[in-house]
Amino acid sequence: MWELHGSACCYNRAIGRNQCRDSGPRWMKDQRQVTRALAGNPLIPKPLRDQIVEIAQTHGYVVNQSARSLRLRKTDTIGVIIPLGHETGQLISDPFFLEMIGRLADEITRRNYAVLLHKVVVTETGWLERIIQAHRADGLLLIGQSNQHDVLNAVAQTYKPLVVWGAQLPGQTYCAVGSDNVAGGRLAVAHLVQAGRRKIAFLGATHAPEAAQRFEGYRQGLAEAGLAFDPALVVAAHYTMDEAREAIADFIATGADFDAVFAFSDVIALAAIAALTEAGRSVPRDVAVVGFDDIVLARHSAPPLTTVRQDLEFAARKMVDRLFARMAGEPAESALSPVELIVRGSSV
Amino acid sequence: MWELHGSACCYNRAIGRNQCRDSGPRWMKDQRQVTRALAGNPLIPKPLRDQIVEIAQTHGYVVNQSARSLRLRKTDTIGVIIPLGHETGQLISDPFFLEMIGRLADEITRRNYAVLLHKVVVTETGWLERIIQAHRADGLLLIGQSNQHDVLNAVAQTYKPLVVWGAQLPGQTYCAVGSDNVAGGRLAVAHLVQAGRRKIAFLGATHAPEAAQRFEGYRQGLAEAGLAFDPALVVAAHYTMDEAREAIADFIATGADFDAVFAFSDVIALAAIAALTEAGRSVPRDVAVVGFDDIVLARHSAPPLTTVRQDLEFAARKMVDRLFARMAGEPAESALSPVELIVRGSSV
DNA sequence: GTGAAAGCGCTAACAC
DNA sequence: GTGTTAGCGCTTTCAC
């Protein structure tokens, strides 16, 4: 009864106006039934549903997502935006981002949504508005707020389904999920102090939101240990290994007096270890090193890297949860993802 | 003249049947003009075109991609598929993939196409057919052929816009772009032999297509150097660092006699260095190590890693070129991407 | 050049 | 239940 029953593509028009172009599934008796059956609608009795699904399968029928999206005004797609500022290098080289993207993709896929990847140069004004209005995604995840705090605040007024990975900042109206960077910085410093270090350098950017928070944690940690903050021990390095390595090599060359390094990320911590080793300083004997992220390689470096671990599984789940809540029109607050100190050979 | 001229969304219907829902751009006089202007159609004189574009911008008008896709039967989207077999771990941890995805995204974005990311468990039959038929993308890139050679051959009969990153295999009808893995294996072994090594172990998988080719290169390299192939020097390890580290540690524990390791990837080469160091073997003095990929970290490990470099920029460009050719209905052959030996401290 | 309409494939709504 | 229709927003075609 349910096989090749005539009628086609636009079942309705086909019958009514004889305008069928033969481009659609020819086996449908009633397209509504098919729609419902494939959607698992309980209005259709289970056995019939299964039968329809099976026939659809043998005919290789899959709903056309463009048409569905147009009709339903939803795309079943989440846009994941990777902002590129001038710091382009970071994303290419930092394993942290792959893991983040991978975990987000897992969470999104689990909900039967697709992932649309945007690499965006955020220096072009209107970048976010353009993405939003193209209606290619039902919601957006932004990995890192870069220096776009104001843009995000402005957009958040009218566009709700947006969640940002990054720091929570004063006066922030958009939803952000991020690690507890300040706590992470304090943990790292407290650990180094406890290991007997007194002259602890900070290696990394200090102005980007996340970096600023880790830097703040570093300063708080020093204060709590009764150590004075010394600006001479702050080494500016951005995100790439090459840059960080050069920066720390220059720092060593100045003859600076330091016995520990707290680095903004594992990647630049590993670069620091390379530079220190090259300069004949032993890690951890001469200089202890602590990183941030706990990338896979941290455990296998020589020496293994002590680091502040970010729980990306938790973070990705949180971000996607928040996003779907917002897509459903529910409120969703910003959230902090916990961090944890992982002590390995580079610091003790 | 071109400002808020009345009529709206469905300009045609709006006028004809007075059914406008006021949901579209209200400022359009003639939607066709807008369509053409935004597409940069030279039919419209340049000054008028610019004016229209500007007005559209001030009104925040962006074409709805779902509607456009439905009408044009194209999505301006490329699907990038990351296959997950049982070797799920590889993609999460291997920086090689991030760089690959990043470079592909760059190439695709440069052509004004969007990137749709699919993480797929390839053990479910019909995974590729389902992706193809959902019509969400105009073309597909598959990163790694996994063990799906037969599926790909079958699909390639009817679906043309598909390019695979991976090995070229006998009887292959789909388009593949991949590094010259055999040459890479030979280069690595020749280098180790020249450095005086004679008992060279192979660390990695030997059955997956790319791995098999690197393994073949290893065997050819041994033969060319007049060295006998010794199955006892083949250490099975898949893609994760943990696994590789355990495998090489076990291998060392057996008391095997070897003075060099050629590893399938940089990631497992780094794991091997970690295991060797832990076991008290010096790299490169006791054991020389050569990897494959030249990930960013290879240059900064201790010791820096000698490796067979894959040119991902070239590879990504090649893949996307081939794909667009196929999307345009032109034939596009498989291609080989060159490799290069980068000698660093781990082998000399 | 300008106005009118068709129709991409789908789903929801409405009438019977 | 079943049949019919509208219409999502866009682009192209056809007629004037």
Q: Do A271 and B116 touch (CB under 8 A)?
A: no
pLDDT at B14 (0 to 100): 31
Q: Please list, in sequence order, all residues whose beta carbon lies within 8 angstroms of the beta carbon of residue B32, skipping any fewer than 6 positions away.
A: none
Is there a domain that residue A346 lies in? no
A109 CA → D8 C1’, Å:
26
- Rounded distance between C-alpha atoms, residue B290 and residue B284, angstroms: 10
How many domains does chain A divide into? 3
**A94 and A45 part of one domain:** no
Among B63, B85, B104, residue at a domain's last position = B63
The alpha-helical segments, DSSP class H, found in chain B are 11-17, 31-38, 46-58, 65-72, 89-93, 95-110, 127-133, 149-156, 181-194, 209-224, 241-253, 266-278, 312-327
Is there a domain that residue B69 lies in? no
**A303 and A187 part of one domain:** yes
Per-residue tokens: B260? 């060099």
Regions of chain A with pLDDT less than 50:
1-26, 89
Residues in B 43-82 with any Cβ partner in A closer than 8 A:
57, 60-67, 69-70, 75, 77, 80
pLDDT at A7 (0 to 100): 24
Is there a domain that residue B1 lies in? no
- Rounded distance between C-alpha atoms, residue B164 and residue B166, angstroms: 6
Judge if the beta carbon of B19 is closer than 7 A to nucleic acid strand D: yes
Q: Helix, strand, or coil here: A128?
A: helix
- B139 within 8 A of B159, measured Cβ to Cβ: no
**B122 and B95 part of one domain:** yes
- Rounded distance between C-alpha atoms, residue A278 and residue B316, angstroms: 34
Strand ranges across the sheet with A200-203: A234-235, A200-203, A260-263, A288-293, A306-310, A339-342
A121 at the B interface (CB within 8 A)? no
**A41 and A139 part of one domain:** no
Is there a domain that residue B345 lies in? no
**A211 and A299 part of one domain:** yes
**B120 and B90 part of one domain:** yes
Is there a domain that residue A1 lies in? no
Q: Do B64 and A80 touch (CB under 8 A)?
A: no
Among B24, B39, B63, residue at a domain's last position = B63
Collect all residues of chain B within an 8 Å Cβ-Cβ radius of residue A97.
98
E runs forming strands in A55-182: 77-84, 114-121, 139-143, 162-165, 175-179
E runs forming strands in A227-329: 234-235, 260-263, 288-293, 306-310
Task: Kindly report the backbone phi and psi dihedral angles of residue A6, in degrees, each rounded to the nearest multiple of 5, phi listed first.
Answer: 90, -175
**B282 and B330 part of one domain:** no
pLDDT at B91 (0 to 100): 55
**A44 and A26 part of one domain:** yes
pLDDT at A1 (0 to 100): 26
Is there a domain that residue A115 lies in? yes
Collect all residues of chain B within an 8 Å Cβ-Cβ radius of residue A129.
60
Place of tokens 């832990």: B278
Virtual torsion, Cα B207, B211, B212, B217, nearest 10 deg: -160
Is there a domain that residue B265 lies in? yes
Per-residue tokens: A155? 């957009």
- Rounded distance between C-alpha atoms, residue A274 and residue A312, angstroms: 26
* The pairing of beta strand B162-165 with beta strand B175-179: parallel
**A90 and A188 part of one domain:** no
**B35 and B102 part of one domain:** no
Residuewise pLDDT in 10s, chain B (348 residues): 223 222 223 333 332 322 333 334 445 656 777 777 777 776 777 777 777 778 777 777 778 888 999 988 899 999 999 888 665 545 556 788 878 988 999 899 999 899 999 888 888 888 898 888 778 999 999 999 888 999 999 999 989 999 999 999 999 999 999 999 999 999 999 999 999 999 999 999 999 899 999 999 999 999 999 999 999 999 998 778 888 999 999 999 999 999 999 999 999 999 999 999 999 999 999 999 999 999 988 998 989 999 999 999 999 999 999 999 999 999 999 999 999 999 999 999
Of the candidates A212, A263, A260, the one whose C-alpha atom is nearest the C-alpha of residue A237 is A263
A9: amino acid identity, one letter: C
Domain harbouring B323, CATH code: 3.40.50.2300
**A175 and A316 part of one domain:** yes
- B294 within 8 A of B310, measured Cβ to Cβ: yes
pLDDT at A3 (0 to 100): 30
User: Peptide bond preceding A303: is omega within 30 degrees of 0, i.e. cis?
Assistant: yes
E runs forming strands in chain A: 77-84, 114-121, 139-143, 162-165, 175-179, 200-203, 234-235, 260-263, 288-293, 306-310, 335-337, 339-342
Is there a domain that residue B38 lies in? yes
A283 class by beta-carbon count within 10 Å (0-12 exposed, 13-18 middle, 19+ buried):
buried
Place of tokens 């897992």: A106
**B167 and B112 part of one domain:** yes
Range of the domain at B11: 6-63
Of the candidates B268, B259, B211, B212, the one whose C-alpha atom is nearest the C-alpha of residue B233 is B259
